[in-house]
Amino acid sequence: MLPQRSKDYEGAVHDLEGSTLVSEVGEPTAGPGEVLIQVAAAGLCGTDRHIVEGSHGCSARAIVLGHEVSGTVTRRPCVN
């Protein structure tokens, strides 16, 4: 069983000034064909590293890093 978490949602956010810190982010939603996952662990990939180093070229906006995750599906769309 996963540990209980508060209702706050946090992410590793890389901002426009080039800083990366754990910050509160908005509550995620699951759109059509998507699921919502309570993340137990997240990994950073090579692309994330290049974004942080400034060598990727996709730093036109703040971005939440880490898209390789493991966790439990908490919401899924209704299927008719």
Instruction: Count other Cβ atoms within 10 Å, centred on residue 66.
Output: 14
Q: Would you say 66 and 44 are in contact if contact means Cβ atoms under 8 Å apart?
A: yes
Tell me what the mean pLDDT of segment 53-76 comes to: 80
Residue spans of the domains in the chain: they are 9-26+36-72
pTM assigned to the model = 0.60
Q: Would you say 72 and 20 are in contact if contact means Cβ atoms under 8 Å apart?
A: no
Cα distance between residue 46 and residue 67, in whole Å: 11
Tens-place pLDDT, residues 5-24:
555 788 888 887 888 888 88
Tens-place pLDDT, residues 25-48:
888 888 888 888 888 998 888 888
Q: Would you say 16 and 59 are in contact if contact means Cβ atoms under 8 Å apart?
A: yes
pLDDT band at 60 (very low <50, low <70, confident <90, very high): low
The token duo for 74 is 């908490």
